[in-house]
Amino acid sequence: MSRSRDINGPLFEVRVSSLHGLGVFASRRIRKGARIIEYLGERVSHAEADRRYQHKDVGDAHTFLFIVDEQTVIDAGVQGNEARFVNHACDPNCESVIEQRRVFIEALRYQIQREADDPPEIDAIFACRCGSSRCRGSMLWPARRTAARRRTTRP
């Protein structure tokens, strides 16, 4: 299974995005929870994925890699499908779901998790340019904490 279709035709189309290269755009309303597409590509080890993209600039987060588990990465740049063009956003409308070592994109939300060893400039690397009025400026979740509010006591 790669793309969801029904009697009304395809759920999405790939076209030029004003934000970042190519993007996936809904062709019509998609029901929450609908499985949109399976993320396909060559399955490789983490070491092989690192080797393939070691020449890329550290600040360039544009790859077609998806981590499945500790052993496996899907490289959609090789034998991949349209799922590789799903762009990230801070106010997303879909999410990735991993089931039995397969990756699916479903209608709802998509979030890139923060990691403890992220470099200090990680928010700039994953800056969001979605254009939403609710844009947080970063595709990473959870949102970076701002300065803690001061508690005041009333007399």
The whole model's pTM is what? Answer: 0.68
Q: To the nearest whole number, what is the mean pLDDT of the chain?
A: 81
Q: What percentage of residues in the chain have a pLDDT greater than 90?
A: 33
What is the CATH architecture assignment of 5-110? Beta Complex (2.170)
Residue whose structure tokens are 């600040």: 59
Average pLDDT rounded to a whole number, residues 47-65: 84
Output the pLDDT for position 147.
43
Average pLDDT rounded to a whole number, residues 21-48: 89
For residue 44, what are the contacts with CB-CB under 8 A and spacing of at least 6? 52, 72, 73, 74, 75
pLDDT band at 5 (very low <50, low <70, confident <90, very high): low
CA-to-CA distance for 116 and 86, rounded, in angstroms?
A: 25
The more confidently predicted of residues 69 and 108 is 69
29 has pLDDT over 60:
yes
13 has pLDDT over 50:
yes
Q: What is the pLDDT of residues 119-143, one digit of tens each?
A: 888 888 778 777 778 787 877 776 6
Residue 110 identity (one-letter amino acid) = Y
Instruction: Name the strand (E) or helix (H) holding 47.
Output: helix 46-52
Instruction: Name the strand (E) or helix (H) holding 140.
Output: strand 140-141
Q: What percentage of residues in the chain have a pLDDT greater than 70?
A: 78
